[in-house]
Structure 1
């Protein structure tokens, strides 16, 4: 009788995430919460920052309650020490959850910042922790000076050892699994499963609206870049590829081409502001002002409309951990041109659902031109992409796999 009672007991899951904005990591956390709620779990998301005007729409649902604590803590000190501040903010959230909230929970799903895991072990009855590794944090920063290396050394040590304290560790791709093993050398015996990010397809099945002036009229070929305004996303590649494409086209053809640079943008983040300015300056220097639209902090509905009306997506980061944008694009029957490294090697079928290219303007431009020369290509690749997402990246498959991990932790 006891196993049956346990099987049907509602599992209470708390998600801990540093900043619940609109990036890829946030998309995964929200999808994970939605998935577990669909499986009958009670879910809450705890975070150090949440803005209802700058979030995914699902977080405004009473089914996915969001608790924000610690936003008064600094995100940097005079523009520096971002990592330490992020760690302190997450430790504060964990302390508040364990000692001050009175919230009862069975499992904690945390990602990005593992420093909170030791705090969770301090709970009266030890709680199980699932850690989702998007990518080792220590590989996301430059170490150009001895001072920076000295500053990062204890943080890197803390990341590795606290990650190893999780009861279950999953990663977002085979690529990340390999990087995890090479980076965290003391965790060689730790087993990591691959849990691909899913696509909550219901959000993309809503009625498609007009572009409402997002791009000029009478454009036949619309290329779309979706990524945060961060330098590591290599967004200048999209602009330089557009410029290289211009040299391949007639004047009449070029007049029908347009690029939309749609990016996650937060005025609190200096890099977002600076890089947006840098990209506009680059477009101006290349003489592309009339052929590019820069869109900041777009809505979910705008993104869906852009994907449905675009010829293809240009996905420019190299060694991206996974990248949910190609999956979103393929589901909406929009082919993808991406760099041939990292997660896109697993999500995109080269020459079937898009093209995998060298991170060079001419390579991207050559693939972009193919869509102009062969109108059937967009339709054929679009349909193939849709089928690939349904087979490999559905929310149902993601929910089933994640739910198994959660139940295993509560046994």
Structure 2
């Protein structure tokens, strides 16, 4: 058997829309690290806006080719899933017809491309399942169930055609097995490849304190709790506000043992799109909740937070609150720990695998009282946050850095090909 450990491979990545979301970040990280390891990498996609994308996709690190951007994303604001399937399959057809064989094709999100990609004999297909799409879709009416039924069948059937299936966490692996029961019965067990974070982007210098001029009124010597998430109801940001309100009331009753409330803030930042009704409505709901909880003057909202603003907030806060329950994985805890900040998160889903309870943060029940208890521990002893932050950074460097991710992915690919020659 030939040893392919040092072989430079031709690797294609097939992704629906190369924007700036978490799935796109993972695909770009895969391309960056596989390129750094000497492989010849090429990304294929149905959409790539050079003005709204990750820098690595336009700096010449690897080629990006777009096919099918002329195809509709929806039909009268309906049939989004069908249109996504059509666009992605078109990309796969162009890859199969117009390009020579790749050693490996890394596909994600839309498994319908797999049978088309397998038409190119000799190419191994690796599919990365971020989460079963059929669980993300709505099945609330009979019409929706009828619409989704063939798509759900296609998703399970075509996922099973991949030569290797990866998922982003043990939590997602368990959901995968309980959802795709037919694949489970066939003995398909996905392997876990955790997403990664570029730890060096959070390196800071004590000579250059974070620029927080975009948040007027934030106490320079204050203690800031930070929540970073998209303004969507499923992110459960209300939990952070209610927990913060409990913490503030505790301070008012015991001011001698805690920081004065005038120096404590909660900053809620994250992705916000004015065009989306849910974003607009949820932001207003959160502001209303802050008023009802009596902490409106202590809660600061930063919608449409830029990368530089996010990094400044991470550098300035004492702790990050991560509120989604049963999150598939969650990249925010990794970013927070890479920035040397402890994380308070729900004791469910991906954070159970990324946050070390009592060492790099706290895993809590999904209720305000539990979160407030963890927040109080950190607020009462700032040195605790500093020690946990250092442990958190080391934890991410050793287990979730982009370099570790790339090496593990390369090993998966090499193992997939080891019997090919």
With the length of structure 2 as denominator, give the TM-score of the two structures: 0.88
Checking the alignment, whether the CA contact within 8 Å between 1:120 and 1:126 is kept in structure 2 is: no
The Cα shift of 1:274 comes to 4.3
Distance 2:74 2:47 in 1: 14
1:180 and 2:176 correspond: yes
Deviations 1:314-347 (A, max 9, x none): 1111111111211111121100000100111111
Q: What corresponds to 1:22 in structure 2?
A: 20
Say if 2:123 is the partner of 1:127.
Answer: yes
Partner of 1:226: 228
How far did 1:285 drift?
A: 4.8
**Which residue in the other structure is 1:118 paired with?**
115
2:38 alignment counterpart: 40
Q: How far does residue 350 in structure 1 lie from its aligned partner after superposition?
A: 0.9
**Structure 2 counterpart of 1:402:** 409
The 5-angstrom pairing of residues 99-114 of structure 1 reads 99-100=97-98, 102=99, 105-114=102-111
Contact 2:101 2:123 (8 Å CA) reproduced: no
Equivalent position SS for 1:199: coil
* Equivalent position SS for 1:356: strand
Indicate the SS of the match to 1:108: strand
Aligned to 1:261: 268
What does residue 214 of structure 1 align with?
Answer: 215
1: CA distance, partners of 2:290 / 2:76? 31
CA distance in 1 between counterparts of 2:11 and 2:83 reads 25
Runs of at least 5 residues in structure 1 that lack an aligned partner in the other structure: none
Whether contact under 8 Å (2:177, 2:189) holds in the other structure is no
Mapped partners of 1:41, 1:296: distance in 2 = 39
CA distance in 2, matches of 1:284, 1:70: 48
**Could you tell me how far apart the structure 1 residues matched to 2:296 and 2:46 are?**
38
SS of 2:251's equivalent in the other structure is coil
- Residues 10 and 104 in structure 2, CA contact (< 8 A), matched pair in contact too: yes
Query: Is 1:382 paired with 2:389?
Result: yes
Residue 53 to residue 211, structure 1, CA distance change in 2 (3 Å):
farther
Corresponding residue for 2:145? 149
The answer to which of 158-167 and 263-272 deviates more is: 263-272
Inter-CA distance 277–158: structure 2 relative to 1 (3 Å threshold): farther
**Residue 399 to residue 337, structure 1, CA distance change in 2 (3 Å):** same
Asked if 2 retains the 8 angstrom alpha-carbon contact of 1:259 and 1:293, the reply is yes
Which deviates further from its counterpart, 41-50 or 322-331? 41-50
Q: Distance in 1 between matches of 2:50 and 2:128?
A: 24
Note if contact 1:17-1:111 (Cα within 8 Å) is conserved in structure 2: yes
Report deviation, 1:154.
Answer: 1.4
* Secondary structure class of the residue paired with 1:247: helix
State how far apart, in whole Å, the 1-side matches of 2:18 and 2:287 are: 27
Shift in Å at residue 397 of structure 1?
2.3
Question: What TM-score results when the alignment is normalised by the length of structure 1?
Answer: 0.90
Give the one of 186, 193, 196 matched to 2:191: 193
Q: Select the residue among 301, 304, 311 that pairs with 1:304.
A: 311
* Residues 348, 354 of structure 1: 8 Å contact kept: yes
| Cα RMSD for the two superposed structures | 2.5
Contact 2:101–2:122 (CA<8 Å) still a contact in 1?
no
1:240 corresponds to:
242
